[in-house]
Structure 1
């Protein structure tokens, strides 16, 4: 019985933490000799929830709901949400992609603000589902992005595009913060990208 339970758990875990990473355009050849990749994050096409609400719509509705539960709670949450991009989501992505590459002993760094880098990775965030956690029951966050490697001098020139769909954002134990759960989705995306680059761009 214990073996069956363990098997069921592993299958469930593998499904829960699966993520689709598909190359839409281009190949990895141009990245082989590069040691620095500039990174930019683009939220201009972001939608949220299953209904694909605009970010402004999501913020207004969420803040209104929180204010009903406690006066001023919505305004406090807005500050947390607005700070999550630079405080949680983007650092999580960068940390994991660089950790994977470092562990594989690849001499390359992904970082924001690298003006001298020949190539730029634009992380186009297109959809977020925050998930939820009510102690014994929870739903992981999901993050979908388009990962576009472009020529830094001509960013309309997309050399490689990877579609990363529904990266699961979850962790062991309870996590009641939507922003932190979403951050785990960014971390998963960075980890999956790093693993793909190790296999296809930095083989040597």
Structure 2
């Protein structure tokens, strides 16, 4: 394998009790030239292909199974309502907060901008609070807002890790999106610096 292809992937690894867990990110197509002069990026979230766990269960299958477990242990909690809040409010909020904290760009959901970032979630391990982090595979694609088929940059994330001091799987999963946003922002800054240095 060529040395350059080895370093196409930006990889960090951590070893715990004999097991390895690897997070990787890769620009699979495009570049950051389109960001020149831009101040804001619209963000949309796409979970249409998202599956859960090693069994790759659908969202409905995961939620149904999890709701039964929660009902046995937390009879007063309506897990489906909790889940809807987690997916529709908490995850977007975590992603946007982290992206805006770590980027010179403003990432928004309620404004029309020249470019749109599609956060497409593909696979997730929810994790187990206290001993097993959540994991996420996702593809982030920057497209023309007026023509969503026109792609400018695509970044693949594999096994992004999420954990928190909280005691629920949902909090762990939300932290996956915060970490993804942080790494995306760092990568964009790095690529923009390289672009300016080559001029």
Does 2:146 correspond to 1:153? yes
Matched residue of 1:133: which SS?
Answer: coil
Equivalent residue for 1:113?
A: 110
Shift of 1:148: 0.6
1:86 shift after superposition: 3.2
More helix, by proportion: 1
Q: Using a 3 Å threshold, how does the CA distance of structure 1 residues 93 and 17 change in structure 2: closer, same or farther?
A: farther
| 2:187 equivalent among 173, 176, 196 | 196
Contact 2:129 2:172 in 1 (8 A): no
TM-score, structure 2 normalization: 0.82
Distance 1:197 1:183 in 2: 22
User: How many residues end up aligned between the 2 structures?
Assistant: 181
TM-score by length of 1: 0.80
The SS at the match of 2:60 is helix
CA RMSD of aligned residues (A): 2.2
Deviations 1:67-99 (A, max 9, x none): 3445464xx111111110233211111111111
1:144 aligns with 2:145: no
SS in 2 for 1:201: helix
Structure 2: gaps spanning 5 or more residues:
1-12
Which sections of structure 1, spanning at least 5 residues, go unmatched? Answer: 1-9
SS of the aligned residue for 1:38 comes to strand
1:92 equivalent among 57, 70, 94? 94
2: CA distance, partners of 1:118 / 1:187: 24
| Aligned match of 2:123 | 127
The answer to which structure, 1 or 2, has the higher relative contact order (CA under 8 A, 6+ apart) is 1
